[in-house]
Structure 1
């Protein structure tokens, strides 16, 4: 084993010199009571016994197995610790670094680590966390910086199980309540400030993007003054203060809409491509503050309708109320210069005239057309030249400018009068005799008593081809028939019964005649029956039967068939 020489300075206590020399044979062994008052240099290993003291107030405690330091000790290079250092007071460390080979703890009430010379103070950990959980940690650089020199991040957390609150990325971005800040400063949550939040950029084009929740932004840069507006200057969103353009509202409380395309002056709502000065994609309504639920004007873009004072326009232009105009109302059917449109209204009121450059057509769809002037006033239709007032689906009735009326149809009325003294015009229901045909006539009357009692007795001859007896009914009339009968019956109150019968004994019409009830049976009584509509096509004849029990004298003098046209 190599021998070591022990160099002892002359001022060392000679009392211990002999003991020290014996310790290092071949190893240096310090026992209880051994004391080195000056520097001690160890070339290989050093075994420490209990109670060995190093310098002033520094010794090895055999009970605890620790080196105890009661005063400040200066370490020229570095101190390597296998387990831990317990600091009972304030520890001052200068030099290069302190390295913890395992898990190191500083368990003092307060611990400070600083540099007394210029340069950086760096605390690093290759294993992960820098400082374990504990009380407070203060990092202070009086005249320098605190920084992380590696590619890792710096983050701060709170709580028993630390939750991250703030992180500084190696890129320089700072995040509050977020571990991945995407910009220089990113805050996940609200920012509350009792004062102003002032933003300064590095150039005149610095930007600030605010979400929709921001209700007020104060921009102090540039040259703001009363009456100026903030307008965009380029496609990047840069803005500057400018004067209001000519022609806009300047009253207090007004709203302003400024287009981005100043050359076109177009404003778009619900679309990004304005085609007109104001282009709205969707319905638009305009109302008042007194009744905003009932708009004065509504534009229904889906159905292409416009309504005034109505929210449900039923046509292209609907007005709930009256339309009053001091000028002309011109309606065009198409977007051309020709006036060919229609006006459909539920009611039309005018204090002036209705004028049409072409044909004026008034159509009442589903209802009547009523022209009702004020009481005492006339309805005037003024015709000029060869014009005509026409009535009918194709003008069947018309009146010319001279007042002449012509019709290809019928005219029906209760009564017409000819002012020139001519015959009156027939009225509806009036019957015009078109012919009379005798169907019974003898020099002496036919007398019937028992032959007519309880049975039918034929009175007339058989009649054939009745249609040849009378001309056809006139247009606008209906053919009717009557019988004219002169007869007599003596002292009876019973009516006689008459029938039109065919050769097959079929009755087609029946009527009764009231009794003449006269004692002068030779004179007779003439009457006309009620009208009936048709006669049999087959040969027919007229027959009679006495009423009640019969048994009285009954005489027939004459029977005439009358053909009539009844006015419809």
Structure 2
């Protein structure tokens, strides 16, 4: 073959021939039809009808564009539609700040979810769920335990109507706890396992209401297993302390350890007295003495003497 002449196979020859003569044929009207024509201004072959592509469609220009107000990518057969393949980032939806929302599966107005283009909020008609374990938003689930996804997050519940937090359990296992609170942190100050206060402007404020009832062998409204209990006292020094300043105390042995005095408008019964002691009580509750009692008023010249009918004090 002569210099400068390139040998082409049949397929390549036909391809180049079509590229060379197709625009001319279109311009000449030989291949012109209502739905296919050659645009001289754009220097492109234009197709004005649906085109069936039975093989892969390669778009190497980077963009698929349309001048229509609505563009639908519709699938009627495939059960799986994949996007983004090996891409590290997949962007769906508005590229401008004024763009509207992205609807998934119909949007929140019917079914599915809507990503609001103005606020970024995700709104779903149905439930937002995750697998048996993993993280959904700010929450993490493991088995049947739900906890904040980030350690040391504080869960805050605020409400202004009715019950703020309602816990209900119908479990039938042993030692079930509807609410289990545990504080194990070591600090140099004061730690509270539970701190409850009621300071509302109500007719009656109750800080804590506890009741236990039902078909149980034993019903206990409250059990304080360890530690001192203060009533009207924020620093109790005995197992039970009543009144500010430890005015009345009951120690761990059940004995009254301190008392400012005993005042009663009714009968005081000493159930532990027997006939063997110096002070006894009869079956009718009469307090009497079986032995001599040393009575002392104290002070110089202050004496107590007993006579028939009473105890007479004299300062003789």
Normalised by the shorter chain, which TM-score bucket?
A: 0.3 to 0.5
Higher relative CO (Cα under 8 Å, sequence separation at least 6) belongs to 1
TM-score of the superposed pair, with normalisation by structure 1: 0.27
TM-score, length-scaled by structure 2: 0.43
Flag the structure with higher strand content: 1
